[in-house]
């Protein structure tokens, strides 16, 4: 047998280090090409690393919880008889070919959601075997399956080793059959506004669990404190600043003390936006798509960017790059921390397509499956602080961008209409800009344009 070392790779985001979160194999295990070896935490995402080798695990070289530099050997694999491990340059060529090749149809014993891997963007470098630029490998935590053909079989192999995981298979709801949920779960669903008929159960007997309800709930209610925990038994806790939290801290400090921020705020009568959202929810054209005021806000920003392109720029010491496309970032609060995935070329999307993209982005972030590519190359960001009941704030720019817009909560307030005080749905739009690029008049026109759409969404039809 020939021994091969698997070195921690750069998974496509230019990282310099990563933390070993969980090993999926153990010494003595027989592994196949594309089998998930380990889950790592990079600066802003969890990534499952597939194996470029087939053989037997000789040894785990880095323990869980350890942060190592890119290029560090992390596992030793003994190739099976007659199978020599390919040299590094051939591995990279195979990885690139694997990313470009069409994905085979997934095969699994249990029902899974179908997915397809989009083609790799032009100019992309080599990627990991089975990982791809935009593909997702199987996640046993989320119970979802990506488009790679080899992964489901491996998931089943792991299932055989772990009875608890095997029992928690996803049960597809059967139309006309009542859902199975305990009274406390039903109360939780009612409190969160969740329709249990739309929830996919993962309980052992096909029942809906608390986690199922929370996962299905709106993002605002998911991250509210559902219950008050007991005080911790220790007087103080110390949390290492590493991985994602380290990157968040670095990005915020760099942004705050590099780009001179200027912030603007405006109160908006969003009553017509709420009426428009209500009509879209009942439209047959939007059946099965989640509709919220965030969708109108996203469309408003795209429209306002087209009218004020400087807010969609990037600043370098030598030039200002005006980007005539919108990779719309959505700041997402996840259990692991703040991430900002973005919707590529949002300016070309219809209302329905954009709604679907927003929903998928939220679900992916909530389940910890956001890929590094999904967080790269953003041009402008929305932070929806209204879901937490906040009226407004002074958002800090996402590094590499010169504009960020905050959408506050939308609630009924007294508002003067035609000289009379009436109850109207009111919100506050706040925005911060890099004053090196965006002058006050441009910033003001942009915010006014966003506000005008929220006041009258029909302007989007022009």
Pairing of β 337-339 and β 332-334: antiparallel
Cα–Cα distance list, 300 to 71, 253, 290, 296, 438 (Å): 44, 29, 18, 6, 19
**Residue 462, SS3 per DSSP:** coil
Cα–Cα distance measured from residue 297 to residue 331, given in angstroms and rounded to the nearest whole number: 13
Pairing of β 380-383 and β 337-339: unpaired
**Residue 424, SS3 per DSSP:** strand
Residue 119 falls in which region: left (phi positive, over 0), alpha (psi -120 to 50) or beta: beta
**Residue 153, SS3 per DSSP:** helix
Q: Please give the span between the terminal C-alpha atoms of the chain, in angstroms, as a whole number.
A: 69
8 A C-beta contact, residue 265 and residue 89: no
Cα–Cα distance list, 112 to 34, 144, 157 (Å): 19, 6, 16
8 A C-beta contact, residue 19 and residue 242: yes
Cα–Cα distance measured from residue 364 to residue 362, given in angstroms and rounded to the nearest whole number: 5
Cα–Cα distance measured from residue 329 to residue 302, given in angstroms and rounded to the nearest whole number: 11
8 A C-beta contact, residue 387 and residue 410: no
Measure the CA dihedral 143/147/150/155, to 10°.
Answer: 0
Long-range contacts of 25-33 (CB under 8 A, 24+ apart): 25/57, 25/75, 26/57, 26/60, 27/57, 27/58, 27/59, 27/60, 28/56, 28/57, 29/56, 29/57, 30/55, 30/56, 30/57, 31/55, 31/56, 31/57, 31/77, 32/150, 32/154, 33/129, 33/130, 33/150
* CA 287 to chain centroid: 23
* Contacts for 351 with CB less than 8 Å, ≥ 6 apart: 280, 295, 299
For residue 435, indicate whether it is catalytic.
Answer: yes
Alpha helices in 162-242 (DSSP H): 163-167, 183-192, 210-216, 219-222
Identify the active-site residue in 7, 224, 261, 435.
435
Tokens at 365, concatenated: 């972030």
Cα–Cα distance measured from residue 84 to residue 91, given in angstroms and rounded to the nearest whole number: 12
Q: Which active-site residues does the annotation give?
A: 435
């Amino acid at each position: 047998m020939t021994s091969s070392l698997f070195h921690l790779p750069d998974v496509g985001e230019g990282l310099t280090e990563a933390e070993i979160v969980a090993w999926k194999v153990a010494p003595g295990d027989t592994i196949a090409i594309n089998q998930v070896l380990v889950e790592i935490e990079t600066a802003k995402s969890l990534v499952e690393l597939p194996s470029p080798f087939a053989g037997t695990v000789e040894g785990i070289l880095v323990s869980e919880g350890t942060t190592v530099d890119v290029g560090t050997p992390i596992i030793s694999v003994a190739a099976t008889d007659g199978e020599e491990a390919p040299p590094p340059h051939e591995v990279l060529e195979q990885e690139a070919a694997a990313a470009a090749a069409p994905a085979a149809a997934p095969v699994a014993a249990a029902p899974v959601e179908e997915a397809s891997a989009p083609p790799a963007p032009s100019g992309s470098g080599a990627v990991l075997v089975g990982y791809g630029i935009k593909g997702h490998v199987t996640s046993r935590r989320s119970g979802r399956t990506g488009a790679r053909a080899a992964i489901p079989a491996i998931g089943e192999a792991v299932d055989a080793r772990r009875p608890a995981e095997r029992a928690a298979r996803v049960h597809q709801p059967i139309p006309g059959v009542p859902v199975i949920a305990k009274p406390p779960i039903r109360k939780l669903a009612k409190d969160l506004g969740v329709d249990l008929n739309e929830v996919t159960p993962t309980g052992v007997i096909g029942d809906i669990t608390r986690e199922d309800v929370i996962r299905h709930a709106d993002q605002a209610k998911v991250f509210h404190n559902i219950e008050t925990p007991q005080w911790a038994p220790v007087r103080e806790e110390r949390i290492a600043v590493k991985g994602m939290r380290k990157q968040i801290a670095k990005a915020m400090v760099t942004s705050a003390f590099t780009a001179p921020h200027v912030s603007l705020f405006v109160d908006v009568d969003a009553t017509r936006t709420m009426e428009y959202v209500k009509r879209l929810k009942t439209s047959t054209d939007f059946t099965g798509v989640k509709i919220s005021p965030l969708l109108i806000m996203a469309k408003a920003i795209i429209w306002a960017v087209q009218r004020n392109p400087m807010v969609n720029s990037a600043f370098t010491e030598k030039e200002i790059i005006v980007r005539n496309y919108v990779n719309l970032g959505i700041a997402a609060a996840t259990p692991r921390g703040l991430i900002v995935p973005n919707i590529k070329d949002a300016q070309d999307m219809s209302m329905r397509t954009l709604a679907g993209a927003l929903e998928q982005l939220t679900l992916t972030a909530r389940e910890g499956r956001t890929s590094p590519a999904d967080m790269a190359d953003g041009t402008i960001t929305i932070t929806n602080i209204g879901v937490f009941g906040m009226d407004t704030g002074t958002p800090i720019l996402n590094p590499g961008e010169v504009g960020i817009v905050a959408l506050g909560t939308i609630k009924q307030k007294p508002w003067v209409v035609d000289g009379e005080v009436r109850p109207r749905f009111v919100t506050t739009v706040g925005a911060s800009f890099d004053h090196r690029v965006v002058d006050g008049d441009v910033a003001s026109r942009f915010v006014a344009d966003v506000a005008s759409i929220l006041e009258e969404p029909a302007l989007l039809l022009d």
